Amino acid sequence: MNTLLNIVLMAVVTFSCRYVFLAQSMRFELPGLFRRALDFTAPAVLTAMWAPIVFQTPQGPGSAVSPYLLAGLCTIALSLLTRKTLVVVGVGMLLFGVARWWLSQGAAV
């Protein structure tokens, strides 16, 4: 019963926090300092998601380069050359697949 109560209370808190910001019926505005601080939320969350994946240490014998890091660096270079997001994402995924296959073939030899 205690677990169910905790889940319900967490749901109420989550819903109420989001309702205050998204509801059109409530006129609630954040001060300028908070709005400027919230501009950094998306980059901070995205960095917290990709950084541990890209900078993880390679696994297995003979592996010195991570395919995540290799494909990430190539994707960054490509994004600086072209501004087409879909092309950069597609080529980055292809580069990751090729790097992963290539590094696995090199470790097996």
pLDDT tens digits, 49-108: 988 888 887 665 555 678 888 899 999 999 999 989 999 999 999 999 998 888 878 655
The torsion of the CA quartet 15, 18, 22, 26, rounded to 10 degrees, works out to 80
pLDDT at 109 over 50: no
**30 close to 38: Cβ distance less than 8 angstroms:** yes
Domain ranges across the chain: 1-39, 43-109
pLDDT tens digits, 19-29: 777 766 667 67
pLDDT at 44 over 70: yes
Proportion of the chain in helix, strand, coil states, percent, rounded to 5: 75, 0, 25
